[in-house]
Structure 1
Amino acid sequence: MERHERQQLRSITDEVTGWVHQAQSALAHRDEVARAADEAVDSLRRAVVALRRDGTVDWGALPLSPGDGRLLGQVARHARLPSLAPAEDRTLRHLTTQVAGSLHDARSAIGARRFLVGRAKRDAGHAAARFVADFREWGVSSGVPLLLHRLNSHDDRRFEVGVADVLSDWVGFRTRVADLGRAAEVIPSAVVADLPASIRTIEKALQDEVRYRAAAVSAGQAVRNCEVRRMLVEMPVERLKDATRDRIRIGPLADAGIATVQAVLDHGARLEHLPGIGATTATRMRGAAQTLWQMTYDEMPVRIDIKKRTAETTELLRCLGAWDAMRKTKGATTDLALAQALAPLAHALKRDVSHLVVFAVGARVSEFKEAVEAVRRRARTIDGASGPAASGDPWDDFLSRPADYFAMLSELGFLTEDEQKAHGDLPDDIVEAVRRLQLDTEYLSASLRGYQSFGARFALVQRKVIIGDEMGLGKTVEALAVLAHLRANGDHHSVVVCPAAVVTNWVREISSKSSLRPHRVHGPGREAAARNWVRSGGIAVTTFETLGWFEDQIRAVQDLGCAVVDEAHYIKNPTALRTRRTRRVLDAADRAILLTGTPLENRIDEFRNLVGYLRPDLIVDADEFAPGRFRRQVAPAYLRRNQEDVLTELPELVEVEEWLPLSREDFLAYRRAVADGKFMAMRQAAMLQGANSEKVRRLVEIVEEAEDNGRRVIVFSHFREVLDHVVRALPRNVFGPLTGSVPAAARQAIVDQFSAAGDGAVLVAQIVAGGVGLNIQAASVVVICEPQLKPTTEWQAIARAHRMGQLESVQVHRLLSEEGVDLRVTEILARKRELFEDFARVSETADSAPEAFDVSEAELTREVIAAERERLFSRDSANPPAGEEAV
């Protein structure tokens, strides 16, 4: 090879050597950046928290702190590397391998080493030199220098990425973690900032529930101990003889001034030192006294007497209220499942976390946000229940919801229920199936007695049933418990069909005893209510009359979980139009509940019809059966319990506010009275329209139900004309009217005749006459036709039936129009009640001055007439209620 050729080859190899060095540097740099990016991604992946519900991952959550910007910078640095086509990558790999090797061989042909190697080596070097030269020529024409310049001149200085940009395309992180979820979203830390505290609150509440329950049990035992002591203080020592087989001489106790069993217990070991009593006799006496104590304790229910507010009872109510708040947390199964799912994230959140990447796996990211908010709401509820409000007077809460407190006492074992009687006539296999079902009370805010829980679970297990519990046992809350359970398990739509008179009561009960949404599909706003129900779910409350307009929309709903029919005797006639409409809704629903307080056993034709709507398979050969036998045959679809069966503490007083709409005739009469400014006429208007009066219709129903349940009724009104209308509306077994013009002797004669009459008898009395000086224990149902201006008048009237010697519970029905004077008077008296309660707390004479609650009649009259004239005679407010369609 000539000298100039060697010089030319040296120049070529030097140039290509530079290419090799540049390629090696570029590849090494790219490998280092890729390795750093992989390590950064691995580090971030390890920080992802899997959030599981029911064993399935719903979300992955990656907490990010500002310091993670350095890791994201590594990922972005790799993403920002100049792109490299496959052919370009092959060129670089070729340069650093084959070309680099050829350069080494070429030096043996063109460098000083050519004199030291053999011919074969020199020939190979010449071949390598030619290869390098050819590659150089190809490289120049292919743009290799430009490629190397592009790769080595790129500015890739280290930098940090703001964590808010983690999912930006230029960072490149999203594509590297696509396997973690089908979608991902960056969420500011503010969304989950208080999640750790919320989780801690819920976890502590669950732990505290056991402690609060134990405190309630201890407080209940203290109340029971006080009551037992009170009874033993009054129990004569002679009773010791009944508690032991040993002979006990009572004389020495009497000589020592020990007259009661409690005194024996109080003396304890000192007994044996009394004259005539040795160690053996003292031991027998104490043993007998302890036996009497235990027997009394075991049989002693825990009573709450609002007239005897002892420190022990107040503490019991406080403990029950605190336990109830914790218990509701434990019963919120959906929220607790969410809290459990989010707990790992809460524990992983550090103070410096600024953002969160949420990956959707089994659920959407929006559902993650909803879960966080649900847990936050649950924690706020717990904090509110245990905060300052919970430290108020526990009697206030008890008086607002006594049934809840009695349910808690029952759950704690202080009020025992006969479980067998709670089952009615159900066969054992159904009872066992009902027991196995766990009731989900997440959407139910009311507490349930044991028999109420059983009734709700019976309806769920048997799917279509009749619940015929006696009035006062809580059929409404049993039905609500069913609807709440179905909502918690995915059924969003339910419907209640009832008489117009009880629509308002249903709407109020749903709102006060559950978190379900009621929709009043009746009256002027029915179209909007129906649309809202179809769109958002909840409970539609409608009437038998409105059903003709509404039934198509009901049957079009795909998830109609349950249809409830209240006052089911309204559909006893299978050929009636209202019955046919209702049956179509019952058929469309997955579950159905017919509610009736009327015992059906002695009306076998009606009984057969109602059962046949739900379970026609149960009425085969029904004509051959006596009523009792037929009831047992249809037991799988029928449950009835009486008060005496399941309420061992038999409530002395059950008060019901019957809020009723004004019929068209009621409204027109009432409007005339308002226009004339006649306050007393306003108060009577809703009772003077005969069969067109909603109050009169409801009164007739109450009397009929009382007769069916073996009860007698007393009807009170302030007005003589109202009483005359009541007598005409109740055609049989009516006594009175007992008014102020009836002489005292004649009054008692009327009461005696009423007391001797049979079930369903009605005594009609003017409240100022029949409410004073008479004992009417024969009546266990009291109806007050209008709110009284002096509540003391009502109290005295109720006391005529609810008094010593009354062996039954007393039911009080207040007939109230949901608009107009009744509502106004009730609101004004409620304000007065608050003032009186404030007065009672600070006044030692409050108990002897209930008139402090009464209100000036003139003052009330002026206020009500002015407000009603404004309401009725302002523009667009004077339209009477629409008439009901025929059924």
Structure 2
Amino acid sequence: MDRDERARLEVVVAQGERLAPVAERVHAHRQEVTRAADEAGARLTSRMTRLRPSGTRGWRVLALGRGDDVLLGQLVARAALTGLDASEQEVLDDLALRVPRAVDAARALVGLRRLVTFGARRTRAETQARWLLLHQRDWGADPEAWLARMDAQTREPTLPLAPDAALHPHVGLVDLLGGPTDHQQVVALGDAATVVDAPDAPDAPGAPDAPDAPDAPGAPVAPHALDLRDLPAVLPPLATVITRADEARQQALTAGEAVRAVAADRLLAQMPVDRLREATGERLRIGPLTDAGITTVAQVLARDHDAPDLEAVPGVGPVTARRIRGAAQTLRTLALDDAPVRLDPDDRTPQTTRLLERLRTWDLLRQTAKATDLVALAQTLLPLADHVTDRTTHLAVLGDAPVEDLLDLLLPVLERARELRDALARAQQDDPWVDFADRPAHYLALLSELGLVEETGTHGDLPEDVVEAVRAQELDTAYLTVPLRGYQSFAARFALVQEKVLIGDEMGLGKTVEALAVLAHRATEGARWFLVVCPAAVLSSWVREVDAKTGLEPRRLHGTDRQAELARWRADGGVAVTTYSTLASLGEDLGGFEVDALVVDEAHYVKNPTAQRSRRVAALVARTQHVLLLTGTPLENRVGEFATLVGYLRPDLLDGLGDSPVDFRRRIAPVYLRRNTEDVLVELPELVEVEEWLELSAADEVAYRDAVAAGSFMAMRRAAFASGRRSAKLAHLLEVVAEAEENGRRVIVFSYFRDVLDRVAASLPGPVFGPLTGSVPPARRQQVVDDFSRAAGGAALVAQIQAVGVGLNIQAASVVVLCEPQLKPTTEWQAVARARRMGQLQTVQVHRLLTEDSVDERLVELLSAKAGTFDRYARISETAQSAPEAFDLSEADLARRVVAAERARLFPDEDGTVMMGR
């Protein structure tokens, strides 16, 4: 190496000694910042969730929270490092890693040290010297300034970055999450989720200026009422609700069997050991058991289970013991098969309480599971819930669709999830018997759906081929929010299979919900326009039932807002509810408009084919594919009227029909379904009917004789109340009501006559509601009934029998008083059914107030034939073109016969001499 090379080497070595420490510091800093950023990026991206709900192109979502500002700051620190190309990076690597070693070795060739350096050390020094001289030119014109700029960054602290700036391009997170998209924004969580614009990242040494944020994406939008912080807690139950509903159903079944077992054990505890003989065809010696104090089958089972020593009983050997055990087990099996599952508030066993709890939980879960779209979305969102914790404060969202669309999807899911969580929590905390008392029919329907209560007569008198077709019909209850009894489900499927039907179930069995089940099923098939025609008295009830028991929209086509509701119904669909009278004014609006299903409630209103409303309904029936005529009283005075209703549906069924009830029943079977209360509601409390025969008081006799003399049938019927408190009927009525109120029972008092109701209401001392008469608007009637139902303890509702006999449900009452016999058997049956219907928990007492030697006796005699005729024809789903004379009797004929009979009894002589008594 000559002098010039040595001189150059001295300069290079000196420069390397100055640059190397700085380069080492810069290099180490950059490596540490990069390492930290890599780890931060890995931790952040591990929490990214890819969401692709059905019908969307999907989003990438990153949950950010407390502590993530440090990780984001580490990403920013890496992004802020001075950018180096490959050659610059190579220079930095050389200065930091190789130059220190080369300078250390080449220093041996500088100054006097070159004179004492020999051998391998000199060779190594020369090699490094040549490398330094060769690469010194790569360091650039001013490497000191270059390194100084980067060295300044080593003294800058890593600052945290607020999560709302996470998606700023300068941060680099977007690239880590898969690259930019059309829409990318940060959602700040809290009481309301807010989509925020991405602000500029904080300035950092060496960081380029951030570009202006575009108008979209990133434009602020209105906050959403959405708090995702409890997503991990509430979402999984919703996502797994289908499986949990199945599990809850099985738990309810198990709880029901436990109740059945308790009932069976109670029966066995009362069953004498003599019954063991009936369980086996062999002779058993029972005497030794009774001698040993074993008197019941339950004691036999307990003795055998707890201390298997039947053989030790004197007189009982091994063979006899084996036969006794077998007989006892057979009886227990039979008892379990026959034991009822009853929910009795007066017998709250741990098993029935647990059953109620299980039923409520199952009902909540299965109703939620019907929201299949929300459940599927909840399942899609589960991975996001795994990454959201109590430390999460923001969501970084990137997608091809606006972020607001994702929030709009999340909102209903989160709301339903919270509703489910809260409802399940209440179900665990609340007394289940309180809810049962409020909704007994609902729970009994759940028992029916589980097969835990017996139902017979479900099929009515339908032929087997129709029954089989109905069984094969599926019923989609996605739009139905209440459970169905087995017989109710059958009726709905019958209507779907046969399309045009008459449902004649007895009152209280739930014809309304059967019709709603049909509409709900048709809605799942895409049907949108449904029409219900009903009497004005029940219009409000129909609107409330549609709203409460289905997911369909009720439309009230009645009153001042009728036209606006009609326009909404025609545009958007729903269940339009109108009255027979309003239907007349809707003729042009419904002309040519196709209705997907028609329900005609209280269809006996159109039994007269010549009436205008009957013609309007018939025209609708003729052009509608699915039709349900509903009536609990298809026959009243003339059997031919029933044929009229059948004729609306299937006129061909009446062609060539004879007058045989058997033939008529067979012919109309395809359209007519009727079930009786006792056949399907086996759990319904007992009906106790009492005919209270009373003697007319002296004042009553005077009023009654005057009415007969005047030939006034109506005055005769109410004469027993004309004398006020001197009336035998009123006095006894007060006793009945007083006793009922002392026992905490509510009472309904029915009369045909308003003046009778006024006297009763004025005479009753306790809480009195009413009188409800035909002049009281339907909405007000319902309000009075609601107030009566909520009254504490005993109370009385006074009502005109024809005003409340249709549409109103009064399960709160368990005592019914009929002030006088009615002219139609169905009128009384309807009145009693107002209280004795599904959901009633108490035995219903019916008190008929009757006076001897009066119009009451004549009416009872004549009407008994009418009731028997109705049973023979209507109650077994059959009728005829004609009926016995007693049934065809009109009210006018009835009045004439009664007045004539009473005049003949009281005034047999033409001179007017009165003969008292019979």
TM-score (norm 1): 0.56
Distance 1:421 1:209, change over 3 A: closer
Q: Distance in 2 between matches of 1:590 and 1:359?
A: 47
2:663 aligned partner: 629
1:206-232 CA distance string (max 9 Å, x none): 343344333322332232222222222
**How far 1:432 sits from its partner (Å)?**
3.3
Q: Which structure 2 residues correspond to residues 448-459 of structure 1 after superposition, within 5 A?
A: 448-459=484-495
Moved more, 581-590 or 392-401: 581-590
1:603 offset after TM fit, Å? 6.4
Contact kept in structure 2, 1:459 and 1:482, CA below 8 Å: yes
1:297 to 318, 325, 336: 336
Which residue pairs with 2:616 in the alignment? 581
In structure 2, the partner of 1:827 is: 787
Measured against aligned partners, the alpha-carbon deviations of 1:418-477 in whole angstroms (never above 9, x if no partner) come to 4x7436415536633653414223x32221111111222222343332222221211011
SS of the residue aligned with 2:545? Answer: helix
Q: How is 1:318-467 mapped onto 2 (pairs within 5 angstroms)?
A: 318-343=357-382, 346=385, 354-355=394-395, 369-388=407-426, 390-418=428-456, 421-422=458-459, 424-428=461-465, 431-432=468-469, 434-441=471-478, 443-467=479-503
Change (3 A) 1:495 1:48: same
Q: 1: CA distance between counterparts of 2:619 and 2:287?
A: 78
Query: What letter matches 1:435 in structure 2?
Result: A
Amino acid at match of 2:446: M
TM-score normalised by length of structure 2: 0.54
Q: Secondary structure in 1 aligned to 2:657?
A: helix
Query: What secondary structure is seen at the aligned counterpart in 2 of 1:248?
Result: coil
Q: Which residue of structure 2 aligns with residue 266 of structure 1?
A: 302
- Secondary structure of the corresponding residue to residue 792 of structure 2: helix
Shift of 1:588: 5.7
For residues 469-488 of structure 1, the aligned pairs below 5 Å read 469-488=505-524
CA distance in structure 2 between the aligned counterparts of 1:765 and 1:594, rounded to whole angstroms: 43
For 1:615 and 1:496, how far apart are their aligned partners in 2? 20
- 1:51 matched to which residue of 2? 52
Q: Is the 8 A contact 2:231 2:414 kept in 1?
A: yes
* Number of aligned positions between the proteins: 605
After superposing the two structures, state which structure 1 stretch, 64-73 or 577-586, moved more. Answer: 64-73
1:237-279 CA distance string (max 9 Å, x none): 2111111122112222222222222222222223221222222
Q: CA deviation at 1:398?
A: 0.9
Equivalent positions of 1:668-683 (< 5 A) are none
The equivalent of 2:235 in structure 1 is 199
Distance 2:631 2:723 in 1: 40
- Equivalent residue for 2:607? 572
- Measured at CA, do residues 534 and 376 of structure 1 come closer, stay the same or move farther in structure 2, by a change above 3 Å? farther
**What's 1:250 paired with?**
286
- Is the contact made by 2:276 and 2:297 (CA closer than 8 Å) also made in structure 1? yes
Q: What amino acid is aligned across from residue 386 of structure 1 in structure 2?
A: L
- CA RMSD, 1 decimal: 5.6
* Cα distance between partner residues in 2 of 1:493 and 1:409: 33
- For residues 391-428 of structure 1, give each alpha carbon's deviation from its aligned partner in whole angstroms, at most 9, with x where no partner exists: 2221111111111111222222321334x743641553
Determine the C-alpha separation between the residues in 2 that align with 1:70 and 1:552: 71
Does the aligned pair in 2 maintain the 1:423–1:431 contact within 8 Å?
no
Alpha-carbon distance between aligned partners in 2 of 1:281 and 1:814, rounded to the nearest angstrom: 73
Q: Structure 2 unaligned runs (5+)?
A: 1-40, 81-160, 194-225, 695-699, 741-746, 752-756, 796-811, 813-918
Question: Using the alignment, how far apart are the partners of 1:613 and 1:281 within structure 2?
Answer: 69
Contact residue 622 and residue 630 of structure 1 kept, 8 A: no
Which of 593, 597, 600 in structure 1 is aligned with 2:632?
597
**In the aligned structure 2, how far is the partner of 1:590 from the partner of 1:715?**
52
* SS in structure 2 at match of 1:546: helix
**What residue is the counterpart of 2:316 in the other structure?**
277
| Mapped contact 1:555–1:585 kept (Cα < 8 A) | no
Counterparts of 2:672 and 2:165, CA distance in 1 = 62
Q: Is contact 1:422–1:645 with CA below 8 Å preserved after alignment?
A: no
d(CA) in 2 for partners of 1:335, 1:715: 62
Match of 1:437, SS state, is: coil
C-alpha separation between the residues in 1 aligned to 2:763 and 2:247? 42
User: Could you list the per-position Cα deviations for residues 126-161 of structure 1 after superposition, in whole angstroms to 9, with x for gaps in the alignment?
Assistant: xxxxxxxxxxxxxxxxxxxxxxxxxxxxxxxxxx99
User: Match for 2:680 among 638, 646, 649?
Assistant: 646
CA shift in 2, pair 1:64/1:391, >3 Å: closer
Contact (CA 8 Å) 1:258, 1:264: kept in 2 or not?
yes
More helix by share: 1
Name which of 340, 350, 367 aligns with 1:311.
350
SS in 2 for 1:266: helix
2:654 and 2:667 in contact (8 A); partners too: no
Partners of 1:329 and 1:713 in 2: how far apart? 49
1:165-189 deviations in Å (ceiling 9; x for gaps): 9799xx9x99x999999x9998766
* Cα shift at 1:563: 2.0
**Distance across 2 between alignment mates of 1:587 and 1:71:** 76
Partner amino acid, structure 2, of 1:410: S
SS in 2 for 1:414: coil
Aligned amino acid, residue 202 of structure 1? L
State the alpha-carbon separation in 2 of the partners of residues 576 and 284 from structure 1. Answer: 73
Residue 556 of structure 1 and its aligned partner are, at CA, apart by 7.4
Q: Deviations over 1:695-744 (max 9, x none)?
A: xxxxxxxxxxxxxxxx999999xxx9xx99xx99x989x98876697999
Deviations 1:340-391 (A, max 9, x none): 4544655577876845657689xx9887655433322321221122113542
Shift in CA distance, 818/164, structure 1 to aligned 2, threshold 3 Å: farther
Matched, 1:549 2:585: yes
Q: Is the partner of 1:497 in helix, strand or coil?
A: strand
Partner of 2:830: none
In the alignment, the residues of structure 2 paired with residue 178 and residue 547 of structure 1 have an alpha-carbon distance, to the nearest angstrom, of 62
Aligned partners of 2:512, 2:459: CA distance in 1, in Å?
17
SS for the counterpart of 2:598 is strand
The Cα offsets for residues 787-836 of structure 1, whole Å up to 9 and x where unpaired, read as 9989999999xxxxxxxxxxxxxxxx99986566984696377253599x
- CA offset at residue 233 of structure 1? 2.1
Deviation per residue, 1:63-97 (Å, 9 max, x gap): 25679999999xx99xxxxxxxxxxxxxxxxxxxx
1:767 aligns with 2:733: yes
1:62 aligns with 2:60: yes
Tell me, yes or no, if the aligned pair for 2:180 and 2:398 is still in contact at 8 Å. no
Look up the match of 2:200.
Answer: none
Counterparts in 2 of 1:814 and 1:450: CA distance versus 1, 3 Å? farther
Deviation at 1:312, TM superposition (A): 2.8
SS at match of 1:257: coil
Which runs of 5 or more structure 1 residues have no equivalent in the other structure? 1-39, 78-159, 655-710, 748-763, 775-780, 797-812, 836-849, 851-887
CA distance in structure 2 between the partners assigned to 1:834 and 1:741 by the alignment: 27
3-state SS, counterpart of residue 249 of structure 1:
coil
Task: Tell me the secondary structure at the aligned position of residue 409 of structure 1.
Answer: helix
Classify the secondary structure of the residue corresponding to 2:555: strand
* SS, match of residue 308 in structure 1: coil
Aligned to 2:865: none
State the one-letter code of the partner of 1:213: R
